[in-house]
Amino acid sequence: MKQDITLNYTLGEGWLAPWLDGLREGKALASTCKECGNAHFPPLRACPTCRAPCDGWCALNGGASVVYRTTGADGDFAMVRFDGACGAAIANAQALPPDATRAILAPCRDAPPKLALIPEPET
Protein backbone atom coordinates (compact mmCIF):
# COMPACT_ATOMS: atom_id res chain seq x y z
CA MET A 1 0.00 0.00 0.00
CA LYS A 2 1.23 3.52 -0.80
CA GLN A 3 0.84 6.56 1.42
CA ASP A 4 2.06 10.08 0.57
CA ILE A 5 2.45 12.82 3.14
CA THR A 6 3.62 16.38 2.58
CA LEU A 7 4.46 18.32 5.72
CA ASN A 8 5.02 22.08 5.87
CA TYR A 9 6.42 23.15 9.22
CA THR A 10 6.49 26.60 10.77
CA LEU A 11 9.29 26.55 13.34
CA GLY A 12 9.73 29.21 16.02
CA GLU A 13 13.34 30.41 15.91
CA GLY A 14 13.30 31.50 19.56
CA TRP A 15 16.67 32.20 21.17
CA LEU A 16 18.45 31.04 18.00
CA ALA A 17 16.95 33.87 15.89
CA PRO A 18 20.16 36.01 16.06
CA TRP A 19 22.27 33.01 14.93
CA LEU A 20 19.94 32.25 12.01
CA ASP A 21 19.83 35.94 10.98
CA GLY A 22 23.63 35.90 11.08
CA LEU A 23 23.79 32.90 8.72
CA ARG A 24 21.46 34.73 6.31
CA GLU A 25 23.79 37.77 6.35
CA GLY A 26 27.08 35.83 6.39
CA LYS A 27 27.85 37.10 9.91
CA ALA A 28 29.18 34.59 12.44
CA LEU A 29 27.39 35.25 15.74
CA ALA A 30 28.57 33.24 18.74
CA SER A 31 26.73 32.87 22.05
CA THR A 32 28.76 34.01 25.05
CA CYS A 33 28.90 32.48 28.51
CA LYS A 34 27.79 34.72 31.36
CA GLU A 35 30.45 33.26 33.70
CA CYS A 36 33.62 32.52 31.71
CA GLY A 37 32.97 34.70 28.65
CA ASN A 38 33.74 31.86 26.20
CA ALA A 39 32.24 32.34 22.72
CA HIS A 40 30.45 29.27 21.33
CA PHE A 41 29.99 28.82 17.57
CA PRO A 42 27.64 27.20 16.74
CA PRO A 43 25.87 28.74 19.72
CA LEU A 44 25.21 26.81 22.92
CA ARG A 45 22.52 27.88 25.35
CA ALA A 46 24.44 26.55 28.36
CA CYS A 47 28.24 26.62 28.68
CA PRO A 48 29.67 23.07 28.75
CA THR A 49 32.54 24.23 30.99
CA CYS A 50 30.69 26.13 33.74
CA ARG A 51 27.07 25.13 32.95
CA ALA A 52 26.06 28.80 33.16
CA PRO A 53 23.57 30.32 30.70
CA CYS A 54 25.05 31.75 27.50
CA ASP A 55 22.75 34.76 27.26
CA GLY A 56 24.90 37.14 25.23
CA TRP A 57 25.99 37.30 21.60
CA CYS A 58 29.25 38.43 20.03
CA ALA A 59 30.21 38.85 16.38
CA LEU A 60 33.21 36.80 15.23
CA ASN A 61 35.24 37.94 12.22
CA GLY A 62 33.78 35.09 10.14
CA GLY A 63 37.15 33.49 9.30
CA ALA A 64 37.67 29.80 10.06
CA SER A 65 40.41 27.14 9.94
CA VAL A 66 39.69 23.68 8.54
CA VAL A 67 40.32 20.92 11.10
CA TYR A 68 38.95 17.83 9.29
CA ARG A 69 37.23 17.41 5.95
CA THR A 70 35.24 14.64 4.25
CA THR A 71 34.01 14.35 0.68
CA GLY A 72 32.09 11.75 -1.29
CA ALA A 73 28.63 10.92 -2.60
CA ASP A 74 27.06 12.45 0.54
CA GLY A 75 28.63 15.87 -0.19
CA ASP A 76 31.57 17.91 1.06
CA PHE A 77 31.71 18.81 4.75
CA ALA A 78 34.32 20.15 7.13
CA MET A 79 34.86 20.54 10.83
CA VAL A 80 36.10 24.12 11.15
CA ARG A 81 37.20 26.31 14.03
CA PHE A 82 35.95 29.88 13.67
CA ASP A 83 38.39 32.59 14.79
CA GLY A 84 37.60 33.62 18.36
CA ALA A 85 35.29 30.65 19.09
CA CYS A 86 35.96 27.82 21.46
CA GLY A 87 34.90 24.55 19.87
CA ALA A 88 34.37 23.80 16.21
CA ALA A 89 31.47 23.80 13.77
CA ILE A 90 30.35 21.38 11.06
CA ALA A 91 29.91 23.25 7.78
CA ASN A 92 29.15 22.64 4.13
CA ALA A 93 32.49 22.93 2.29
CA GLN A 94 31.30 22.39 -1.29
CA ALA A 95 32.58 25.81 -2.45
CA LEU A 96 36.09 25.32 -0.99
CA PRO A 97 39.10 24.09 -3.01
CA PRO A 98 40.13 20.58 -1.85
CA ASP A 99 43.33 21.81 -0.18
CA ALA A 100 41.84 24.89 1.54
CA THR A 101 42.97 25.39 5.11
CA ARG A 102 41.07 28.68 5.63
CA ALA A 103 37.52 29.78 4.78
CA ILE A 104 34.87 32.35 5.63
CA LEU A 105 31.18 31.98 6.41
CA ALA A 106 29.01 32.35 3.30
CA PRO A 107 25.80 34.44 3.39
CA CYS A 108 22.85 32.16 2.68
CA ARG A 109 19.35 33.24 1.67
CA ASP A 110 17.95 29.69 1.58
CA ALA A 111 15.17 28.72 3.97
CA PRO A 112 16.38 27.42 6.34
CA PRO A 113 19.81 29.08 5.99
CA LYS A 114 22.80 26.73 5.51
CA LEU A 115 26.01 26.86 7.52
CA ALA A 116 28.29 26.99 4.46
CA LEU A 117 31.84 28.11 3.70
CA ILE A 118 33.45 30.03 0.84
CA PRO A 119 37.15 30.70 0.18
CA GLU A 120 38.83 33.43 2.20
CA PRO A 121 39.46 36.47 -0.07
CA GLU A 122 43.14 36.89 -1.03
CA THR A 123 44.83 39.79 0.75
Partner 1 sequence: MILVIGAAQTPFNRRRDGTGFRDWACEAFEAARAMAGIDRSDIDALIVASESDFFTLQLNPASVLAQDFGLNEAETLRVEGGGATGQLAVHAGVERILSGRARYVAVVGVDPSASALAGDSIRALYGYSFDFWTDGLAGVTATSLYALSWQAFAAEHRGTGDDLNAVTIKNRGNAMCNPHAHLPRQHTSEDFADSPMIAAPYCRLHCSPLSDGAAALILSAPDAAPDNRRNFAPQITGIGAASDLPGLGHRKAPGTFAAKTKAARRAFDMAGLSAAQIAVAEVYDAYAGAEMQAVTALGLAEDPLRTLRDGGFDADGGCPINLSGGLMGQGAPVGATGVGQTASCALLLEGRYHAGLQPDRPLGHALADTHGGVGTTCAVTVLSAGAVA
The CA distance from 119 to 35, in Å, is: 34
Residue 104: φ, ψ to 5°: -130, 160
The helix/strand/coil state of 109 is: coil
Q: Which of 26, 27, 63, 81 binds partner 1 (CB under 8 A)?
A: 81
Residue 60 contact among Zn ion, partner 1, none, beta carbon within 5 to 8 Å by kind: none
Q: How far is CA 48 from CA 64, 80, 82, 122, in A?
A: 21, 19, 18, 35
Contact partner at residue 79 from Zn ion, partner 1, none, CB < 5 to 8 Å by partner kind: partner 1
Footprint (CB under 8 A) of partner 1, residues 30-49: 40, 42-44, 48
Interior angle at CA 22, CA 16 and CA 25, nearest 5 = 150
**Residues 2, 10, 73, 122: which binds partner 1 (CB under 8 A)?**
73
Residue 29 contact partner, candidates Zn ion, partner 1, none, CB within 5 to 8 A by sort of partner: none
The reply to whether 100 sits near partner 1 by the rule CB under 8 A is no
Q: Give the binding site for Zn ion (CB under 5 A).
A: 33, 35-36, 38, 47, 49-50
